[in-house]
Structure 1
Amino acid sequence: MHPGELNALAHLISESERLTYLDPHAALSLAESACRLAPACTDTLLAISAWRCYGTMLFAFGRIPDGQHAMFKALTLADAEDLVAERGELIQELACAYYTQGDYDEAIAYWADCIDTDGFTLNTRIHAYIGLGQVYYAHERYEMALQNHLDAKALITLPFDTDLHGRVLINLAADYAKLGRFDDVALELDEAMPLAEAAGNPEYIGEILVYRSAIALSRGHAAEAHAFLDQAVAMRRVWAWGEISQSLARGRVYLFEGLLDEALTAVHTALLRADEMGTCHKTFQALHLLAQIYQRQGNTTQAEYFHRRYQEAFSRIVRSGTYAKLQALEARLKH
């Protein structure tokens, strides 16, 4: 590949990254074009960047298996050239994809690899702590999730990667919300918002607004909760995870208000999107919430149906073997 072609490939990647939040469809198209040039690329780091950029955009659109395929292409190149730091970053991306699909054993194995290899960056290690906490969160072990996310935060020394710092704080806010510690949720969000804004990450800003909605709802302020969600929706482009979270949050507000038909519409939308995306954790959250709404409506048949589906989905997530692997990974992280 001659220098002009290398420059063209680098430009496609940089433009895709620039447009990631401004015009996600264009960003995806540019990343796809970059990957068509990647096989002939003589610069391994540039080829890895092309595949990783494409994988990231596919994940954003909820196309998880396709995104994994792109990340594996990048990982193969990193392995071949023994590019250790790049390999670590790609491994944690793949771990997140397995987590999203509810394949927690595989996610744990990848995050374990993040801490077992010399030469991986501090960022990769922090991602492993975040991931460990997220799996505990999915298992409804919120105190354990909180501890691991606090461990991730303790590794951050300023100045630090603004985007990753914000991610840690948002995970802490999620933990505190589940524990009913909404004053602590507010503190984490107050710290996270300027970081998300500085990083230019509307995905994170949207998540922060969802948790601000949860704070408002915990205080009985339904109108304020809706207003935060309206802001989040206005910022969203195609971020599948955010779309599901916002629909679930809207359903909870409608349930609080007693607007049960509206709540059902919002949560069924979330369930449909979660099923399309293949995100098990969001699926069982939606099923559980639907069971509660139908129960409030007096529709016992539907309530029992969705509660049974929720239990089945949760039982697929919670496995004794998975919990043992979690504890083994945690022990390695502590040493």
Structure 2
Amino acid sequence: MEELHRIERMARRHPRPAIYLFQSLEDAAAREARFDVALDALYQRYFVLERLGEATSIIDDLYSGLQRADDLGLAPQTGRMLEAIGRVRYTQGEYREAMHHWGRCLELFKLTGDIRSGTEARIGLGAIYIALGDPHTGARFQRDARALLKGIDDPYLLAKLGLNLGVHERAMGERNSAVMEIESALLHAKRGDVREYEAEAYWHLGQCALDEGQLDRAESLTREALRLAFACKYVWLSSAAMMSLAHIFRQQKRLKESVSAYEEALAHAVSNGSRPQQMACHSALSQLCEELGDDTQALRHARRHLALELEIKSELSAPDRLRNLEQHDLSEKPAVQKLLELSASGTMKTVGLDESLAQVVTNAADILKVELVAICLRDDASGAIVCRALHAPDALRFKVGDAIDAGGLPHYEALQRSLEHALVVHDLRLHPSADELVPVLASADVRSLVEVPLRLRGVNVGVASFGQCGRRRNWTRDDVLFASHIANLVEHLLSDAQHIDIQRELEAANRDLELRVAERTAELETALSALEDMSLTDPLTGLRNRRFLLQHLEKDAALSMRQMRDPAAAREATDTVMFMVDLDHFKHVNDTYGHQAGDAVLIQIKERLLRVFRESDYLVRWGGEEFLIVARATQRSHSARVAERVRSAIADEDFVLPDGTRLAKTCSIGFACHPFITSNPLALSWQEVVAMIDMALYAAKRAGRNAWVGLGATHRTEGASLMAQLKASPRETVRRGVLLMETNLDSERVLNAF
């Protein structure tokens, strides 16, 4: 990696030698199977070529690198290849392909956390949305990129982000903000010696000056941008800045100088492959030539501008523009229309499977513009993959009826069995089974391949293969989508052909299934009941948990309140008394004797509580060492007596730890009744009563522990403000007789503990 960094450091000042050295390192690393280093060197080579405006020359290598990185599971390198391909496609004006690759790059970023590729992809997507007239979405991507770079001092990325943010602010009419962002980017570029972005910053500042009508300042800044762009061989900016200079000349009525500048900008745009720049130059030249009276040149440039505009727009939304295209007398239908017509064709349903497959491969070759289409299906008897339909050059030795068996192509046959998604191979030599497959397809000179698995009922039954012969093809997202759609159509045909057999199997299986479903339903009901019980039970103590209480207490509380409101029932109504029990100094047990000892103490507490309370009462492990007991159908006058029994049950008998150690422990208890006020049963909810007994419990703890404190209503208790009074001044609430307090300790000491 040191060698890679050394070349990287010299690349800005000596780009051509750096390209050669990166290529040499890439080849050497590949021979030594250090593919991560080879791919990193490829990425750096692209990086230099992009500044030189020659990135399109490396596009095949980038697609091959993407394929290799994908195959080897090299996620960081896959992200960088996607980022680079997206950048090249963006420069070419192929926004749809750029968005596809940058979108994949962002998905990978979630896995790799590669700041550079994640930031570059967000900046690129933001630029596309701004170019498409959606600055708000573009700004969101730019803000995400800024958040990603927070705390990271990378002058290159900070300069790039600043420039893009400046472009966005300018697009939104915020010129002052735009200038601030661009000047910040200029500082980062100078600090990091990123000369191409230093040049670009001057150009953008010139654009801002031009917006303000400051033609002289705009020209000065643009010429400085041009000087720096030429010096660092930044071809894209050379074209952009020259276009700006031409525009300034035009504003100054220097029309011939403007034409010359636009022609020079067009030459740069052609060399770097930027169709948007070419389109802008042709548009301006068309208007200038018309002003100068050169109608022939004006028409030539207008036609070229229109052709480029149609190319870019059609690539952005070909399906959406289909209806517009149909209005013209086209010599050939668009691929998407052919695909839709093939999918809707009813003739294939009236012929046999083999004839239907033959129609599919013929049409598929026309739709995708490929020379090879093959449908191969697995033979049930032999297990071999057999060619059932084929469109291919006569030179191909593989024919319909030929089998791909494990004996001849073992690796390829195994690959087809396990294939789950489309396998996209831009260079056949990089196919996972290249050693076996290349000799088979060499007779037809197949260079690139897309293979889509055919699946029925979740099982691979074959493969649909689409091959480019005679030249390499870098498959686009649309190519893969069309191939996948055709494979899906084949799956439907196979499904229809098997329908009768499957129907018979289903009828027999259905009878068996009904029986098994009935058995399984009974098993599930039993299991569900057990699971429901488990979900309501504390796993350590076997007591009920909070979920159980929430499910059952509302019903009990509602019943009590109905009885209290009914005069006839109120005479025989009983209370629900809630006790909160908390073991004193339980943390000491865990810290001193370990959690196993603590668990043993909790289990023994459960056993003692079961001795005090009835089977109909709810014993709930409330959390940690806290237990909430809901004593149902109990007289509130017995509450203190029950609390004392609980305290004694805990304090009067030692706890025995697993190692035989005996511990004396105590507990603190808070209790109250629900409904709290018998004359106004709706005044307090049971949750508020629990909060009240929690306060009582902690008063017992603060007053000395090994104690119980109960709270009850008096004739002065008013529900509307009780909880507020209790929280604000619990001591005074009791002293004024608003609440009745019961305790086994000195009352004054407990009051002072509230």
Measured after TM superposition, the shift of residue 76 of structure 1 is 4.0
Paired AA for residue 121 in structure 2: A
TM-score (norm 1): 0.83
Measured after TM superposition, the shift of residue 323 of structure 1 is 10
Q: Which runs of 5+ in 2 are unaligned?
A: 321-754
Match of 2:111 among 119, 143, 150: 119
Which residue is equivalent to 2:150? Answer: 157
Matching of residues 71-150 of structure 1 within 5 Å: 71-117=62-108, 118-121=110-113, 122-150=115-143
Matching of residues 164-313 of structure 1 within 5 Å: 164-236=157-229, 237-299=232-294, 302-313=297-308
- In the superposition, relative to structure 1, how do residues 317 and 143 fare at CA in structure 2: closer, same or farther (>3 Å)? farther
Query: Secondary structure of the residue that 1:318 maps to in structure 2?
Result: helix
Measured after TM superposition, the shift of residue 89 of structure 1 is 2.1
- In the superposition, relative to structure 1, how do residues 110 and 164 fare at CA in structure 2: closer, same or farther (>3 Å)? same
Match of 2:41 among 29, 50, 75: 50
Measured after TM superposition, the shift of residue 53 of structure 1 is 2.0
- In the superposition, relative to structure 1, how do residues 87 and 132 fare at CA in structure 2: closer, same or farther (>3 Å)? same
Paired AA for residue 119 in structure 1: L
Measured after TM superposition, the shift of residue 73 of structure 1 is 4.3
Q: Deviations over 1:274-299 (max 9, x none)?
A: 12222111111212222343344354
Identity of aligned residues (%): 22
Alpha carbons 2:223, 2:245 under 8 Å: kept: no
**Distance across 2 between alignment mates of 1:177 and 1:204:** 17
Q: Deviations over 1:54-74 (max 9, x none)?
A: 222233332233322333344
Measured after TM superposition, the shift of residue 186 of structure 1 is 0.3
**Distance across 2 between alignment mates of 1:323 and 1:239:** 36
Which residue is equivalent to 1:329? Answer: none
1:314 matched to 2:309: yes
Query: Secondary structure of the residue that 1:208 maps to in structure 2?
Result: helix
Query: Secondary structure of the residue that 1:134 maps to in structure 2?
Result: helix
Alpha carbons 1:114, 1:120 under 8 Å: kept: no
Larger strand proportion, structure 1 or 2? 2
Match of 1:63 among 54, 66, 91: 54
**Distance across 2 between alignment mates of 1:160 and 1:22:** 22
Paired AA for residue 165 in structure 2: L
Measured after TM superposition, the shift of residue 203 of structure 1 is 0.6
Of structures 1 and 2, the larger Rg is shown by 2
Paired AA for residue 107 in structure 1: A
**Distance across 2 between alignment mates of 1:124 and 1:66:** 21
Alpha carbons 1:55, 1:70 under 8 Å: kept: no
Which residue is equivalent to 1:32? Answer: 23
Measured after TM superposition, the shift of residue 95 of structure 1 is 0.9
Alpha carbons 2:53, 2:235 under 8 Å: kept: yes
Alpha carbons 2:166, 2:179 under 8 Å: kept: yes
**Distance across 1 between alignment mates of 2:247 and 2:154:** 33
Q: Deviations over 1:72-94 (max 9, x none)?
A: 34434433432212221221111
**Distance across 2 between alignment mates of 1:315 and 1:270:** 21
**Distance across 2 between alignment mates of 1:276 and 1:148:** 30
Which residue is equivalent to 1:328? Answer: none
Structure having greater relative contact order (Cα 8 Å, sep ≥ 6)? 1
Of residues 247-256 and 288-297 in structure 1, the stretch that sits farther from structure 2 once superposed is 288-297
Of residues 109-118 and 133-142 in structure 1, the stretch that sits farther from structure 2 once superposed is 133-142
Paired AA for residue 62 in structure 2: M
**Distance across 2 between alignment mates of 1:38 and 1:69:** 19
Q: Deviations over 1:23-68 (max 9, x none)?
A: 2222223223323423223433322222222222233332233322
Alpha carbons 1:57, 1:67 under 8 Å: kept: no
Alpha carbons 1:244, 1:282 under 8 Å: kept: yes
What's the C-alpha RMSD, in Å, of the aligned pairs? 2.6
Measured after TM superposition, the shift of residue 311 of structure 1 is 3.1
Q: Deviations over 1:259-317 (max 9, x none)?
A: 11111111111112212222111111212222343344354554454334323322322
**Distance across 1 between alignment mates of 2:130 and 2:60:** 27
Alpha carbons 1:114, 1:128 under 8 Å: kept: yes
Alpha carbons 2:182, 2:201 under 8 Å: kept: yes
**Distance across 2 between alignment mates of 1:255 and 1:217:** 12
Query: Secondary structure of the residue that 1:254 maps to in structure 2?
Result: helix
**Distance across 2 between alignment mates of 1:123 and 1:55:** 15
Q: Which runs of 5+ in 1 are unaligned?
A: 1-6, 325-335
**Distance across 2 between alignment mates of 1:183 and 1:295:** 36
Measured after TM superposition, the shift of residue 110 of structure 1 is 0.8
Larger helix proportion, structure 1 or 2? 1
Which residue is equivalent to 1:4? Answer: none
Query: Secondary structure of the residue that 2:111 maps to in structure 1?
Result: coil
Query: Secondary structure of the residue that 1:293 maps to in structure 2?
Result: helix
Paired AA for residue 247 in structure 2: R
Paired AA for residue 149 in structure 2: I
Measured after TM superposition, the shift of residue 155 of structure 1 is 3.6
Q: Deviations over 1:155-175 (max 9, x none)?
A: 431234332222122112223
**Distance across 1 between alignment mates of 2:246 and 2:140:** 29
Alpha carbons 1:138, 1:281 under 8 Å: kept: no
Measured after TM superposition, the shift of residue 208 of structure 1 is 0.3
Measured after TM superposition, the shift of residue 206 of structure 1 is 0.7
Paired AA for residue 176 in structure 2: D
- In the superposition, relative to structure 1, how do residues 170 and 323 fare at CA in structure 2: closer, same or farther (>3 Å)? farther
**Distance across 1 between alignment mates of 2:239 and 2:177:** 24
Paired AA for residue 91 in structure 2: T
Alpha carbons 1:55, 1:69 under 8 Å: kept: no
Q: Deviations over 1:179-232 (max 9, x none)?
A: 443222201112211211222210111110101111222233222222212322
